[in-house]
């Protein structure tokens, strides 16, 4: 799914109005009606008090449409205008008149702390105060209103985006944003729903289609893509009936040191389970017996040293090499890596201490093949690119780093983001049970296994991050957040592949009968 920017959304609005020959007021009516339908489907006329808070721009205009439609349907509605400025938008004013025509209970104007109404925990708050047009910090009394919403513990439904949340800046403080229970976002989810510093402002979100110009939506490329099943399915390379293991490449996993051989075992197993034809592990001598025992499918090549990697020398011709899991940062290992890079032409995936080595010795970055994949967790990323001010600054710095060194960088965490030059791919699978030792080693193995069988480094990375999260989602159903461990993610990789081709559940008998009955009405 594409994540459109604020500018693109305004452009889509404008083009829709021109091409569909409708007014902006009509478009606002559509948007507001969609939110009304969503509420009506759930409340079915229940007389829960609904407090609709409207700003003075178009987000507020949406709020007035929602309030009017709720009133016309007999709901128990109170409407408020958060009167923060005299510059009311044209469509706000039109809908302000329209609501006055359907009720004697005109919207209450709020302009200071003393005006706040009584709201109970069982009530519903509709937050239509600020949308994507937020352009400055909110006034102190509006911050107090937002805090007041939180204290009421009522269900908060935000329209388009939680008010006070900007699409391009991190809020100055947590009180200057509405904490939404649910956000109904028009056309596109917003990037801030996925960033570590801002995702908390909405527990759930959903996109409402308001019929914007299809041509524009289809043909406009975005800087950010949200990656789900629909996005990875076209990447999948099918297997032919007469295929043989020679066609799926040979992964070489270089890593490990005394006490950290398990990392190589996990990455190697994951690589084979992701479909590599052959897997070899390159480890210090102490790794020989553990890997051969724990993972008989792998071949093992050993360093001359017992405990660390001191020289990378092999006779095989791998299709892809992964370097770094559990490898340590001993000077001899750094030198071995440098010597290897100087003659290597094979695609590379670098993780863990491999990244720490690059951070220590930045000159090695110049030796990396084009489109090498780096998979840092937040601490490794900081060592590599330095500190950042906030999540937006982090993304800016990673993009610049990716462009400068021609690398694919995976910012791991909840909603892992794959960065390739200026483009961001935001993953949707995964869960907190995956915050566990070795989980990253498994991801490295999956990326390596996909490159091995012919996926481009970028497609392999996007696909692997999705599959890794999906396996984790299957695993958590069995093991729960606490007991899930990295090996379980490998065990469920097959289910993640099979799930790609699973059709949605057919509707149940009763649902079909209900649909038939609605048609007759
Ligand atoms: N395609 C779409 O997505 C559509 C969007 N619509 C709505 O339009 C919204 C955008 O409307 P606008 O551009 O009018 O912007 P907003 O409604 O978000 O608010 C902007 C208004 O509030 C003022 N303002 C901004 N920050 C402020 C602050 N901190 N304190 C006080 N006042 C502040 C601005 O000066 C401006 O008057 C969307 O979020 C959405 O709700 C719909 O009406 C129609 C279709
Ligand atoms: N809260 C979370 N939600 C989804 N995925 C997560 C979460 N926490 C961690 N992960 C995933 O688990 C993996 C952890 O990697 P990493 O920290 O390198 O682990 P390790 O070094 O132990 O192998 C990453 O792929 C990350 O995206
Ligand atoms: K809002």
End-to-end CA distance of the chain: give it in Å, rounded: 35
Sequence-distant (6+) residues with CB within 8 A of 344 are 321, 367, 369
* 154 in Cβ contact with 121 (< 8 Å): yes
Chain segment 390-427, per-residue pLDDT in tens? 999 999 999 999 999 999 999 999 999 999 999 999 99
Instruction: Indicate which atom in ligand 1 lies nearest the CA of residue 87.
Output: 37
Instruction: Please give the structure tokens belonging to residue 493.
Output: 């990789």
Cα separation, 92 vs 385, in Å, equals: 46
Say what the pLDDT of residue 268 is: 98
Three-state DSSP state, 157: strand
Both tokens of residue 78? 């109170």
Would the CA dihedral through 335, 341, 344, 349 be positive or negative? positive
Q: Are strands 320-323 and 124-128 parallel, antiparallel or unpaired?
A: unpaired
Alpha-carbon gap, residue 276 to 448, rounded angstroms: 8
Query: Rounded mean pLDDT of the chain?
Result: 95
Distance from residue 82's CA to the centre of ligand 1 (Å):
13
Which residues, judged by CB distance below 6 Å to any ligand atom, belong to the binding site of ligand 1?
9, 12-13, 27-28, 31, 55-62, 84-85, 87, 89, 130-139, 159-160, 186-187, 210, 212
Residue with tokens 């498994």: 442
ipTM of the complex: 0.90
Structure tokens at 267: 């990455």
What's the rounded Cα separation, in Å, for the pair 405 and 47? 60
Q: Which residues have C-beta within 8 Å of that of residue 42, sequence separation ≥ 6?
A: none
pLDDT at 509: 66
pLDDT at 380: 96
Share of the chain above pLDDT 90, in %: 93
* pLDDT for 511 beyond 90: no
- pLDDT value of position 248: 92
The Cβ of residue 59 has, within 10 Å, a number of other Cβ atoms equal to 27
Give dist(CA 274, CA 168) in Å, integer. 37
Name the helix (H) or strand (E) containing 374: strand 372-374
pLDDT score of 69: 98
Pairing type for strands 2-3 and 224-227 reads antiparallel
For residue 148 the two structure tokens come to: 């007041």
Average pLDDT over residues 440-454: 98
Which of these ranges, 31-35, 126-130, 412-416, 515-519, has the smallest mean pLDDT? 515-519
Q: Is 438 a pocket residue for ligand 2 (Cβ < 6 Å)?
A: yes
What is the pTM for the complete model shown? 0.94
Query: Could you say which DSSP state residue 246 is in?
Result: G
47 pLDDT more than 80: yes
More confident residue, 517 or 521: 517
* Domains of the chain, earliest start first: 2-222 (3.40.50.10260), 245-499 (3.40.1190.20)
Atom of ligand 2 nearest to the CA of 439: 23
The pLDDT score that the predictor gives to residue 504 is: 78
- The tens digit of pLDDT for each residue in 370-380 reads 999 999 999 99
Say yes or no: CB of residue 430 within 6 Å of ligand 2: yes
pLDDT at site 516: 62
Six-digit token pair at 376?
Answer: 């840092």
Ligand 2 midpoint to CA 435 (Å): 5
Ligand 2, residue 441: give the atom nearest the CA: 23
Give yes or no for residue 133 CB within 6 A of ligand 2. no
Joined together, the tokens standing for residue 171 give 């809020």
Say if CB 299 and CB 281 are below 8 A apart.
yes
Phi/psi for 403 (5° steps) reads: -70, -45
> Residue 510's pLDDT is what?
64
Contact 213, 19 (CB under 8 A): yes
Q: What is the pLDDT of residue 40?
A: 97
Choose among 429, 67, 509, 490: nearest CA to 298: 490
Q: Which helix (H) or strand (E) holds 424?
A: strand 423-427
268 alpha-carbon distance from chain centroid: 27
Q: Which of 412, 461, 489 is the best mutation target for the ligand 2 pocket, counting ligand atoms within 8 Å of the beta carbon and taking the most?
A: 412
Q: In what order do the strands lie in the sheet with 2-3?
A: 2-3, 224-227, 423-427, 417-420, 407-411, 372-374, 348-350, 320-323, 250-254, 278-283, 299-302
Q: What mean pLDDT do residues 474-497 have?
A: 98
Is 80 exceeded by the pLDDT of residue 256? yes
Q: Is residue 520 pLDDT above 60, yes or no?
A: no
Residue of 243, 299, 244, 290 lying closest to 271 (CA atoms): 299
In 23-118, the DSSP E strands lie at 50-54, 77-82, 108-110
Helix, strand, or coil here: 396?
helix
155 by DSSP, 3-state: which? Answer: strand
Query: What is the tens place of the pLDDT at every residue in 79-123?
Result: 999 998 889 999 999 999 999 999 998 999 999 888 899 999 999
Length of the chain: 521
Burial class of residue 92 in the structure, from the number of CB atoms within 10 Å of its CB (0-12 exposed, 13-18 middle, 19+ buried): buried
pLDDT at 519: 52
Was 415 annotated as part of a binding site? yes
Instruction: Count CA within 13 A, CB hemisphere, residue 424.
Output: 26
Calculate ∠ Cα 271-225-436, nearest 5°. Answer: 40
Any ligand 2 atom below 6 A from CB of 377: yes
H or E element that contains 350: strand 348-350
User: Predicted confidence band at 283 (pLDDT cuts at 50, 70, 90)?
Assistant: very high
Residue 449 has pLDDT above 90, yes or no: yes
| Neighbouring residues of 270: CB distance < 8 A, sequence distance ≥ 6 | 441, 442, 443, 444, 445, 446, 449, 489, 490, 493
Q: Is the CB of 398 under 6 A from ligand 2?
A: no
Which tokens sit at 167?
């699409």
Q: How confident is the model at residue 245 (pLDDT cuts 50, 70, 90)?
A: confident
- How far is 493 from 495, CA to CA, in rounded Å? 5
What pLDDT is stored for residue 6 in this prediction? 95
Least Cα distance to 274 among 88, 435, 447 occurs for 447
């Amino acid at each position: 799914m594409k994540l459109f920017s604020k500018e693109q959304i305004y452009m889509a609005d404008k083009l829709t109005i021109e091409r569909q020959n409708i007014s902006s007021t009509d478009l606002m009516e559509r948007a507001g009606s969609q939110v009304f339908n969503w509420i009506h489907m759930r409340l079915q006329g229940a007389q829960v008090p609904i407090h609709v808070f409207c700003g003075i721009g178009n987000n507020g205009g949406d709020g007035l449409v929602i309030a009017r439609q709720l009133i016309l349907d007999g709901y128990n509605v109170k409407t408020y205008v958060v009167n923060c400025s005299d510059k009311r938008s044209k469509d706000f004013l039109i809908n302000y008149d329209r609501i006055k025509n359907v009720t004697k209970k005109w919207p209450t104007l709020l302009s200071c702390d003393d005006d706040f109404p009584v709201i109970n925990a069982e009530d519903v708050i509709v937050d239509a105060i600020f949308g994507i047009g937020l352009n400055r910090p909110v006034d102190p009394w509006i911050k107090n209103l937002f805090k007041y919403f939180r204290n009421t513990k009522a269900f908060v439904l935000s329209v388009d985006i939680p008010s006070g949340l900007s699409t391009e800046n991190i809020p100055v403080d947590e009180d200057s944003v509405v904490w939404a229970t649910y956000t109904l976002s028009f056309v596109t989810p917003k990037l801030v729903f996925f960033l570590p510093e801002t995702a908390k402002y909405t527990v759930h979100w959903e996109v409402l289609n308001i019929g914007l110009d299809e041509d524009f939506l289809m043909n406009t490329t975005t800087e950010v893509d949200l990656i789900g099943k629909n996005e990875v399915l076209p990447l999948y390379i099918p297997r032919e009936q007469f295929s043989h293991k020679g066609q799926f490449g040979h992964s070489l996993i270089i890593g490990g040191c005394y006490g950290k051989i398990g990392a190589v075992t996990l990455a190697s197993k994951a690589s084979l389970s992701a479909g590599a034809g052959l897997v070899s592990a390159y480890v210090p001598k102490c790794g020989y017996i553990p890997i051969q025992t724990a993972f008989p499918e792998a071949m093992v090549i050993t360093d001359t040293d017992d405990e660390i990697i001191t020289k990378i020398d092999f006779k095989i011709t791998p299709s892809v090499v992964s370097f770094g899991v559990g490898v340590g940062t001993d000077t001899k290992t750094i030198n071995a890596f440098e010597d290897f890079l100087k003659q290597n032409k094979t695609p590379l995936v670098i993780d863990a201490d491999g990244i720490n080595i690059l951070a220590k010795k930045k000159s090695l970055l110049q030796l990396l093949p084009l489109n090498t994949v780096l998979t840092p967790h937040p601490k490794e990323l900081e060592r590599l690119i330095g500190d950042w001010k906030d999540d937006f600054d982090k993304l800016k710095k990673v993009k610049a780093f990716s462009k400068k060194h021609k690398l694919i960088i995976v910012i791991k965490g909840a909603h892992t983001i794959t960065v390739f030059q200026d483009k961001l791919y935001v993953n949707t699978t995964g869960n907190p049970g995956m915050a566990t030792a070795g989980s990253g080693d498994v991801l490295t193995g999956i990326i390596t296994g996909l490159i091995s069988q012919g996926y481009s480094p970028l497609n392999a990375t996007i696909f692997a991050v999705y599959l890794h999260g999906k396996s984790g989602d299957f695993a958590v159903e069995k093991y729960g957040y606490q007991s899930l461990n990295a090996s379980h993610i490998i065990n469920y990789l097959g289910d993640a592949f099979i799930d790609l081709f699973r059709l949605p559940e057919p509707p149940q008998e009763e649902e079909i009968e209900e649909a038939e009955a609605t048609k007759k009405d």
